[in-house]
Every structure is written in C-alpha cells, then in structure tokens.
C-alpha cells in the first residue's frame, strides 16, 4: 500500500514538474550507479567527489534528453515498429555520439583538466564507451519507445541509466585510479 502511495505521489510530481523530477531522478540514479561501481572496483574506499562529478553531468544533460525525446516522438510518432526503429536509429546515430562528446569533457573539466587535456582524454574514452553503448541501448530503446508512454520514457531511461552510469563511471574513472587498483592486485 505504501509503495502505491509513493508511486502516485511521484507521478503527480512528475506531471507537475517534469524537468525537476527527471533531473532529481537522474542525479539519484547516477549516484547509485557510481556508488555501486565504486563498491565493485574498490576495497572499502569511496570517492564522493567522483559521484558528485557524475551527478553534475546528469543535471546538465537531463533537460537536453527531455527535449530530444520530445523531438524524436514528434518526428517519428506512434508505436509502429518502423517508427520505433527509426527513433532508435536516430537516437543511436545522433544522440549517443553527442552524449559521449558532451559527457566526457564535462566530467574531465569538473576534475580540473584543461580544455586541451579534456579533449585528449575524451578521445581515449569515447570509443570504448560507444562500443558499450551499442551493446546496451538499442535493444532497450526499442522496448522503451514501443511500450513506454512518452511522459515516462525519460524515467525509464533513467532507470536503465543506473546500470549505464555504473559502466560509464568505470570507463571514465581517472587513469591513475585504474593503475593504482591494478598494482594492488
């Protein structure tokens, strides 16, 4: 009964304030993904700054994602498979690279890198991240675009992004952190 009341309240807030609700949901789930990733990667150490850096990217990118999904649904309306696949292809061919080339520089600069350092680091990270992206998101997006109403698509994406954020957190972790962990093994 309590879960139903929480869900009803969440839906009311989502309807009244879709941007704020999606941003808070995105930040919370980004944090959960990063904390889980850190728990798997590290032995009893937690870097809260790393979680905060990842969460900040969600604050910036969530409004863009809301508009993007609105555009896709306007351009390719309905749930016919042809429209769903067109939405997914457009999302993966346009949004995924834009996301990667926005996410990594934002994260790198929040870590104090210069623009030129950030660009180089981004170049090193985008390939592995896009490969991982293309293994996960196309299938999810077909299901999301086909069966989830537009007003819940960003929320559904945010839930899936909990796993994705853990993967991105692992891909995006500072190089020194990865080397330090490898030397400890």
Find the radius of gyration of the CA atoms of the chain.
17
Buried b (16+ CB within 10 A) or exposed e, 41-67: beeeeebeebbebbbebbeebbeebbe
Q: Length of the chain in residues, anyone?
A: 185
Average pLDDT over residues 94-100: 91
Question: pLDDT digit string (tens) for 105-141?
Answer: 888 888 888 888 988 888 888 898 899 899 999 999 9
Could you give the count of Cα atoms lying within 13 Å of 64 in the half-sphere of its Cβ?
13
109: left (phi over 0), alpha (psi -120 to 50) or beta: alpha
Q: What is the pTM of this model?
A: 0.76
Q: How many percent of the chain have pLDDT more than 90?
A: 34
Sequence ranges of the domains in the chain: 25-184
Q: What is the largest CA-CA distance in the chain?
A: 54
Contact residues for 11 (Cβ-Cβ < 8 A; gap 6+) = none
Condensed to tens digits (0 to 9), the pLDDT of residues 146-165 reads 999 988 888 888 888 888 77
């Amino acid at each position: 009964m309590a879960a139903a009341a929480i869900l009803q309240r969440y839906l009311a807030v989502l309807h009244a304030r879709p941007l704020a609700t999606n941003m808070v949901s995105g930040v919370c789930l980004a944090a959960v993904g990063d904390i889980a990733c850190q728990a798997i990667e590290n032995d009893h150490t937690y870097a809260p700054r790393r979680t905060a850096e990842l969460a900040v990217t969600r604050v910036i990118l969530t409004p863009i994602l809301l508009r993007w999904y609105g555009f896709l649904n306007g351009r390719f309306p309905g749930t016919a498979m042809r429209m769903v696949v067109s939405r997914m292809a457009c999302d993966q061919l346009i949004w995924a690279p834009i996301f990667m080339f926005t996410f990594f520089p934002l994260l790198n600069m929040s870590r104090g890198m210069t623009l030129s350092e950030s660009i180089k680091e981004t170049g090193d990270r985008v390939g592995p991240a896009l490969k991982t992206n293309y293994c996960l998101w196309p299938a999810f997006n077909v299901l999301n675009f086909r069966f989830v109403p537009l007003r819940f698509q960003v929320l559904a994406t945010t839930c899936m992004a909990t796993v994705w954020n853990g993967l991105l957190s692992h891909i995006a972790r500072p190089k020194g952190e990865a080397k330090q962990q490898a030397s400890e093994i």
